[in-house]
Amino acid sequence: MGFCNIHLIDMDTIDLSNLNRQFLFRPKDIGKSKADIAAAFINARVPGCSVVPHYKQIQDFDEEFYRGFHLVICGLDSVMARRWINGMLISLLKYDDGVLDQSTVIPLIDGGTEGFKGNARVVLPGMTACVECTLDLYPPQVNFPMCTIAHTPRLPEHCVEFVKMLLWPKENPFGEGAVIDGDNPAHIQWIFKKAQRRAEEFGILGVTYRLTQGVVKHIIPAVASTNAVIAAACATEAFKIASSCAMPLQNYMLFNDSDGLFMYTFEAERKDDCLACSQVPQNLSFTDQTKLEQVIDHLQQSVAYRMKSPGITTVIDGKNRTLHMSTIPSIERKTRPNLKKTLKDLGLQNGQEIVVADVTTPSAIIFKLNLTSRVDSGPGEA
């Protein structure tokens, strides 16, 4: 009894710090693909089990690949990745006259830990609360004051943030417009070396490659006991769904063993206007004097959206037009002047639709603009 056919996706390599909280890797495996080594260990250890490794990112696979699974289990290290896989599974849903075809539902089991805290959840796309419905449960990332980073750094983290926020866009080490990739060793190494020099200038100790990667990717140190509890919870939920031996978790479990032991389960509710699963058109309200850069800031900073690098396109006078796209350097240079233009100057009108693409979702999102000429209407005001 068990799971015989498993595909394992991980684009990370084994680090020394990984050895103390699992049983799949050995010292000789340091520097090798986590997916390859884990798959080889399980295939050798468990007769009849076939684990196929993929030393890639989850974004490297298309709808056809994910459509081939009965369920998906996530142990991702970022909210962005969770939002992406959530969006992918929702994009696979099919409806017949507005009624969900439940045969197209692929359950998502998600587990995460943060030091001594952890959570596990079960998402039935299109049926229960999805990741996007509960985006406000994820705390915003901690940011350091810019004045401290630039002038009075006191912590090694300040040095890393200085390089990340100020030196990277100034020096463009990997080409103009290149975005920092926390999973690219070359990017992390460049930031690490620059942060070390910054630390030496101010007599700050503690800048290491591991800390640099942790700050860039917002990684929080893992605790083996917490990982074990959450992994067991996810495995149990997978077994319950696959075998129908019991009702699955309804639908969110919290765990905390930082001071004693605390566990709590509650049912997260779907949002009627969820960005991902509601099938309700999204509205954005601005004045016609709002600048495009303000629209992008709103999409990035709003708790409802939390986008990373939104690209915006629309149709004006029957022609497709890219208003701004930061992920492709050549297009970013060409559309950069649009950032300072107002929505009226760009030719956008009340009721017009804009298409927004972002790394947090595999599918573009269509927004309908509600534009007014009132100067007292703030960006994003509903």
Catalytic residue list: 147
User: Which sign does the torsion angle of CA 245, 247, 251, 252 carry?
Assistant: negative
Among 363, 368, 354, which Cα is nearest to 90's?
363
Tally Cβ neighbours within 10 Å of residue 252.
20
Question: Which residue from 303, 278, 252, 358 is spatially nearest to 90, judged by alpha carbons?
Answer: 278
